[in-house]
Amino acid sequence: MKNKKEDLIHNSSIVEQDILPEDYQFNLSDFALFLFVMKRRKAYECTLSIILDEPNIKLADVKVEQVVLNKSGKRAIRLDAWAMSTDNRQFNMEMENHSKKDFLPKHSRYYQGMLDSPILKSGKKTKYKHLPSTVIIFITQDDLFGKDLARYTFTEQCEEVENLHLDDGTKKIFLNMISKNGSKELVSLLQYMKETDIENPEIVVKDERIIELDHIVTEVKESEEWEAVKMNILEVGIKKGEALGEARGEARGLERGIEAFVLDNREENVPEERIIAKLAKRFELTEEKANEYYKQYAK
């Protein structure tokens, strides 16, 4: 287990890309802008239409950041962008920029159960056949399955009999912004999400739905509500940057102190084992970490 001083050195290596510069241009792949845009029904319809290849899909209801509690109330999920279509199908879209931090296939499994649980009520009148069809969509910047596809679709089917589907009404879709292997419309949509500029050269076809989506993105970015949220995000980023700078400065000072301590003791011909022990005590390090620093600076 790390102690405070080891944590200081470790935390000073925070990835800088998590801290946004003041002139940062937000993309749809950014969680905040994604939510702001997807709560517009037309934007959700345009996006879903391309993903599912359904030109005429219509939505009856759209909600963002909807919280769904489990029965005990101990574990909840916060849905990024939920929708119900006019033909009673349920959808949920998740923008996942850190897909490697969790196992998304099981993540999707948990979401499926949580989405179904509020629908079924106790009593004989409630039938399982009343469960709506559900499509869960994860949009990522990683190829989770390593097959270089822009879209991976999973449904339940029999392993013994080919093309025998369970027809339980569930579907899970994983979208990959890296791959260009998919329909021109889908690839263009994903590239637009990655770099939200209608003149992005990676957009191979300017589908009318992407153009409509771009109009909505422009409206959102020009709104006072988005401007307030954006400034708040950037302000938090500036504070993180300042804190990171201070942490790095302190960490560098600590490492220089460790280096000087090792070299001074070496000049006094203090035995290696004794230097490591003194180093661990003086700088509150584990013996293993003190040994690493000794080897690094004793050279």
The pLDDT value recorded for residue 60 is: 96
Query: Residue 95 in contact with residue 139, Cβ under 8 Å?
Result: yes
262 pLDDT tier (thresholds 50, 70, 90): confident
Domain boundaries, the chain: 4-12+235-297, 39-222
d(CA 65, CA 216): 19
Q: 47 and 189 in contact (C-beta within 8 Å)?
A: yes
pLDDT at 131: 79
Highest-confidence segment of 95-99, 193-197, 285-289:
193-197
Mean pLDDT across 65-74: 63
Q: What pLDDT score does 54 carry?
A: 94
More confident residue, 89 or 231: 89
**CA dist 85 to 61, 88, 259, 267, Å?**
7, 5, 64, 76
| H, E, C per residue of the chain | CCCHHHHHHHHCCCCHHHCCCCCCCCCCCCHHHHHHHHCCHHHHHHHHHHHHCCCCCCEEEEEEEEEEECCCCCCEEEEEEEEEECCCEEEEEEEECCHHHCCHHHHHHHHHHHHHCCCCCCCCCCCHHHCCEEEEEEEECCCCCCCCCCEEEECCECCCCCCCECCCCEEEEEEECCCCCCCHHHHHHHHHHHCCCCCCCCCCCCCHHHHHHHHHHHHHHCCHHHHHHHHHHHHHHHHHHHHHHHHHHHHHHHHHHHHHHHHHHHHCCCCHHHHHHHHHHHCCCCHHHHHHHHHHHCC
- 146 vs 293 pLDDT, higher one: 146
pLDDT for the residue 198:
95
| pLDDT digit string, tens, across residues 162-192 | 989 988 888 999 999 999 999 999 999 999 9
Instruction: Report the pLDDT value the prediction gives residue 11, as an integer from 0 to 100.
Output: 46
Would you state the pLDDT for residue 13? 43
Q: What is residue 19's predicted lDDT score, i.e. its pLDDT?
A: 54
What's the pLDDT at 203? 95
For residue 12, how many other CB atoms are within 10 A of its CB? Answer: 18
pLDDT of residue 247: 47
Give the mean pLDDT of 25-49: 93
